A and B are shown apart, each in its own frame.
Chain A
Amino acid sequence: MDQVILISMAVLGGIALISAIILYMASKKFSVSEDARILEIDAVLPQANCGGCGKAGCHDFAASCVSASEKEFCKLNCPVGGQSVMNKIASILGYAAVKQERTVSVLRCNGTCENAPAKIMYDGVSSCRIANHISSGLSGCPNGCLRLGDCVKACPFDALHIDKKTGIPVVDESKCTSCGACVRICPRQLFEIRPYGSNGQRVYVACRNTQKGALARKNCKAACIACGKCSKICSDISIDNNLSYIPSTIDASQYGEDLVKSCPTGAIVLTTENTNEQY
């Protein structure tokens, strides 16, 4: 009996030893040497792997931080981690911290159930990208929100939800990290990353319809008709292809209210600090 135990111990021990040697050699042979700072930066990153920085995940971002020169480093930003994370990365690399402006995502469509009533029913998969193939949408606006919520599903931070009353998605500013997932997923490019603005005030045209005024208004009461009244208030506002665009450089606290008042259709939206809602 003793002998059996001894033999099994020897055999199993031998197998263990050989496996250990193979594993050791494999780990030596296939090991990848990496700059230690990459791991260090990787550790301070949020690890959401959202791609908001434009890189393929947090590790890739860490690697590009390390390989970047100080000049190039200014252009890198982790929108999710924000200023605090970028400060830490800068101190790891020994660069001066760069001031990053807070940004959020805004929906450039105000095609609510009320403004753009549904003319048809959609009976199919709840996906904007699929519906976009076959139809201009419930209201008929070929550029407006399809209200099926691909962006809600794509948001990794739960910062978007469809408002049951209006039918269109609402951005929760406190959760939005401006990672850009919604910008990439929306088949009609309705989302835009804009600076948070002083006191949370942002002013923008919530419409992307490029049809002529009458046609656009037929489908949606809140469509931009390119009347040009806003551009008279501020000359930086450009009107192109039947659509007005307010650049983010325009100071919302200074021009915001005037711009909203000037718009005859209500396509211009001003956000305020107090409410998280758009109005």
Chain B
Amino acid sequence: MNNIKTFSIGGIHPNKYKLTTSSPIIEAGLPEVVYIPVKQHIGAPAKILVQKGDRVKVGTLLADADGIVSSDVHSSVSGEVLKVEAIEGGSGYLENMITIKVEGDEYEPFIDLSKDISRDISYTAEQIIQKLREAGIVGMGGAGYPTPIKTSIPEGKKVDCLIVNGIECEPFLTADDRLMVEKAEQIVIGAKIINKALGIQNAIIAIDENKPQAIETLTKITKTYVGVNVGVCATKYPQGGEKQLIAAIAKREVPSGKLPVDVGCIVQNVGTVFAIYEAVMKNKPLYERILTVSGDACKHPANYRVRVGTPISYLIEKSGGLTEATTQVILGGPMMGNSVSNLNAPVTKLTSGILMLSDNLAGKETEMDCIRCGKCAQVCPIGLEPFLIARLMRNNQTENLREAHVLDCIECGCCAYTCPARVPLLDYCKLAKTELKKKK
């Protein structure tokens, strides 16, 4: 069982910086106001149901899914709706948000707040998917694809394997790791729930090697659950990428432009699986998540359970405040996360971490001439040639981009991380992708 799996093309081994592996998840508490974006998923923004002055409780539906690829948004606090309008998000662009002033902590009565673990899955597949839809569950690994759609298998397709993604290959982040240690059984039950919804009996919880505690805990628990197993993967970035994980665990490759479902796999992040457990067994909508506050310039790194909509600045204060050394605040991991300019921006369903980085780590070095070392092509987990894409973009030869398969790029950043000449290869790839999509 314990043979270590990994993907075969490319990959890098950045420094781990897992500062918070042994810090238990703590409650972040309630901020004074929360800003809840109505678009925390891929697809159409949800339709707003509340108005200024409305009183809401934890779990109250604020906005309704608009169309199939969309998701419900619930209130994460109880209090009064102050504003329903577009305000500045993390990037400085305006986003539609519902501002709620926190008063007390009242819950909607349908939420089961008991701490005991419910093990009996008596729902049918349709009931499960309906519950996921009502709870507004989306992929919490970062993509934000609505989970009910992912779990409804299109006609004519057959899924035989559920992969629970417990691989946290981004440096610094430990939220999933801690979740697996502390809520191991709930995750296993969550996997069984998805199995039931999919009508299969096979789930593999993939964990990377550098999480011995999580591997041990889950291996013990999965012994009592038939059909759920632990798969140990090598510690390599981007092992947690959907395509890389399928290559490692199922030994299959998702063809270009296809979805995992086309090769019979479904991948769900552990955070999502835990949310699924809570949604189905405890009727709890997705209004809070686990995230890591860390970084080389962070005073007190920790793992928090945070209400969706909590301003970043609140969590930064909790972790010792913005230090002098901090030059960048990143949402997500250092490899794929976005730097934010507005610290009042809220945490969303997709925020896996808040990092305070200093110039030692995040400072960009001056770009030099490419020395043609070919390292970017060797580390690209898709097997692309980033140096070629960068050259085509520089020379404006956009017509040749398609042959370079740039649309398959997963934007993992391995190329730009590795480049010894510090060429911003990922930026060129992203630019190439937008150019191509514009042409379509």
Query: Are A and B direct contacts in the complex by CB distance below 8 Å?
Result: yes
How long is the Cα–Cα vector from A139 to B94 in the complex, in angstroms? Answer: 14
Interface string of B64-84 (1 = CB under 8 A from A): 000000000000000000000
Given contacts A127-B431, A129-B431, A134 and B91 within 8 Å (CB-CB): yes
- Return the contact of A142 from the options B93, B338, B363 (Cβ within 8 A): B93
Count A/B pairs, Cβ under 8 Å: 43
How long is the Cα–Cα vector from A123 to B366 in the complex, in angstroms? Answer: 10
Interface string of A105-121 (1 = CB under 8 A from B): 00000000000000110
Given contacts A125-B367, A130-B431, A211 and B94 within 8 Å (CB-CB): yes
How long is the Cα–Cα vector from A120 to B92 in the complex, in angstroms? Answer: 10
Given contacts A135-B341, A136-B341, A130 and B427 within 8 Å (CB-CB): yes
List the A residue with the shortest CB-CB distance to B423.
Answer: A125
**Is the beta-carbon distance between B427 and A124 smaller than 8 angstroms?**
yes
Interface string of A122-144 (1 = CB under 8 A from B): 01110101100111110010100
**Is the beta-carbon distance between A136 and B91 smaller than 8 angstroms?**
yes
How long is the Cα–Cα vector from A137 to B92 in the complex, in angstroms? Answer: 7
Count how many chain B residues have C-beta atoms less than 8 Å from C-beta atoms of the other chain.
Answer: 18
**Is the beta-carbon distance between A140 and B92 smaller than 8 angstroms?**
yes
How long is the Cα–Cα vector from A142 to B427 in the complex, in angstroms? Answer: 20
Whether, in the assembled complex, B372 has its beta carbon less than 8 Å from a beta carbon of chain A, the answer is no
Whether, in the assembled complex, B253 has its beta carbon less than 8 Å from a beta carbon of chain A, the answer is no
**Is the beta-carbon distance between B88 and A140 smaller than 8 angstroms?**
yes
Question: Interface size class for chain A?
Answer: 10 to 19
- Return the contact of B364 from the options A120, A124, A133 (Cβ within 8 A): A124
The prevalent SS among residues of B at the interface is mixed
Q: How far is the CB of B433 from chain A (nearest CB, A)?
A: 10
Interface string of B416-440 (1 = CB under 8 A from A): 0000000010010011001000000
Given contacts A142-B94, A211-B94, A125 and B424 within 8 Å (CB-CB): yes
How long is the Cα–Cα vector from A136 to B92 in the complex, in angstroms? Answer: 5
**Is the beta-carbon distance between B341 and A119 smaller than 8 angstroms?**
yes
Shortest 9 CB-CB contacts between residues of A and residues of B: A136-B92, A120-B341, A125-B424, A130-B427, A136-B93, A142-B93, A123-B364, A140-B92, A125-B427
> What are 21 A-B contacts with C-beta separation under 8 Å?
A119-B341, A120-B341, A123-B328, A124-B424, A125-B367, A125-B424, A127-B427, A129-B431, A130-B431, A133-B430, A133-B434, A134-B338, A135-B341, A136-B88, A136-B91, A136-B92, A140-B88, A140-B92, A142-B93, A142-B94, A211-B94
B interface residues, Cβ below 8 angstroms from A: 88, 91-94, 327-328, 338-339, 341, 363-364, 367, 424, 427, 430-431, 434
